[in-house]
Amino acid sequence: MNYAAYLGYNFENGVNEAKLPADEEQLLRRRCIDFTVALCKQLQERLPVNIKTLQHMSLFCVEETLKHNKSREVVKVAELLGFDADKIDRILTQWNNIHLQKWNMTSDTVQFWAEVYKFRNAADENPYANLCDLSITVLSLPHPSAHIEKVFSQMNIVKSKLRNRMGLETLNVVLRIRYGLKIVGHTCQSYTIPASVIRSVGTMAAYSRKPTAANSENASTSTYSEQQSSTSHSTTDEVGWLLGDADD
């Protein structure tokens, strides 16, 4: 390995000013280069095998979404997340048509997709429901590992020794609500629960596992596995509820 490689202006200038002996300078260069090589190897090991497909997730920023000549790479993202062929076909159609509609919240990606999620046409239907399902799933993914570490920390706070009998389903719901509120910039004290949700409390509709007419259109029908599918659907519905109109 060439330990006389150029290591940048600041490094070279600092070495020249320090006037180190030749053997110490060589040792310093060797340690810096060995560290850089080890760092690159660690980064390569941490990158997922589908990194090229994950890079296409930037398609869901406002600028890319509203382009007239858009990339078809959105199909690869849908395939990666396990959407079936019929839904991918509808997603592609909605992807090609979304720029034809005038949107107001074009300065922020999350607010833009919140507006798309709440959009209804003359038939009181969302013509971009499948695309919203995909985009909310993508935007909900915790890309850096720091988010995952925060989830474990929050889990230890929620499921304490006094609440050690809390079930996994309840724990998942509490954590999703916490992070859903964080996404929209609210807390449990500041968020206003939609009136439709309050009316459903105490009724069978609030505890039924069957999808309702309001959210069945937004539920994914296929993912990597049956368990992953269930998680993806509930996450999409919960984030969508938080992005929804608090006044409905």
In a domain, 2, yes or no: no
Statement: residue 248 has pLDDT above 60: no
User: Residue 129: what pLDDT?
Assistant: 93
Q: Is the pLDDT of residue 195 over 80?
A: yes
Q: In the chain, how many domains are there?
A: 3
Query: Within a domain: residue 201?
Result: yes
Per-residue confidence (pLDDT) for residue 209, from 0 to 100: 57
Q: Roughly what angle, to the nearest 10 degrees, separates helices 226-243 and 129-139?
A: 100
Query: Do 230 and 177 have their domain in common?
Result: yes
Residue 245: its pLDDT value, please? Answer: 46
Query: What is the rounded CA–CA span in Å between residue 135 and residue 59?
Result: 10
76 and 130, same domain (yes or no): yes
Kindly tell me the sign of the dihedral angle through the C-alpha atoms of 188, 193, 211, 217. Answer: negative
Amino acid 104: pLDDT = 93
How many other C-beta atoms lie within 10 A of the C-beta of residue 214? Answer: 13
Question: Tens digit of pLDDT for each residue in 96-109?
Answer: 999 999 999 999 99
Does residue 221 register a pLDDT over 50?
no
How wide is the angle at C-alpha 121 spanned by C-alphas 207 and 103, nearest 5°?
105
The residue out of 117, 139, 161 marking a domain boundary is 139
pLDDT tens digits along 153-178: 888 889 988 888 999 999 998 888 88
C-alpha distance from residue 217 to each of 16, 134, 176, 180, 205 (Å): 66, 12, 21, 20, 17
User: Does residue 105 fall inside a structural domain?
Assistant: yes
Mean pLDDT (the chain, rounded): 79
Per-residue model confidence (pLDDT) at position 189? 83
- pLDDT of residue 56 exceeding 70, the answer is yes
Residues 110 and 60 in one domain: yes
Average pLDDT over residues 216-234: 41
Q: Measured between alpha carbons, how far is 7 from 19 in angstroms, rounded to an integer?
A: 16
Least confident among 18-32, 37-51, 61-75: 37-51
Could you tell me if 132 and 156 lie in one domain? no
Within this chain, do residues 41 and 55 fall inside the same structural domain, yes or no? no
Domain that holds residue 29: 9-46
Q: Are 178 and 214 within one domain?
A: yes
Query: Which of 115, 139, 163 is the last residue in one of the domains?
Result: 139
Q: Compute the C-alpha angle 127/128/131, nearest 5°.
A: 150
**87 with 104, same domain?**
yes
Interval 8-30 mean pLDDT: 89
Residue 4 domain flag? no
Q: Give percent of the chain above pLDDT 90.
A: 25
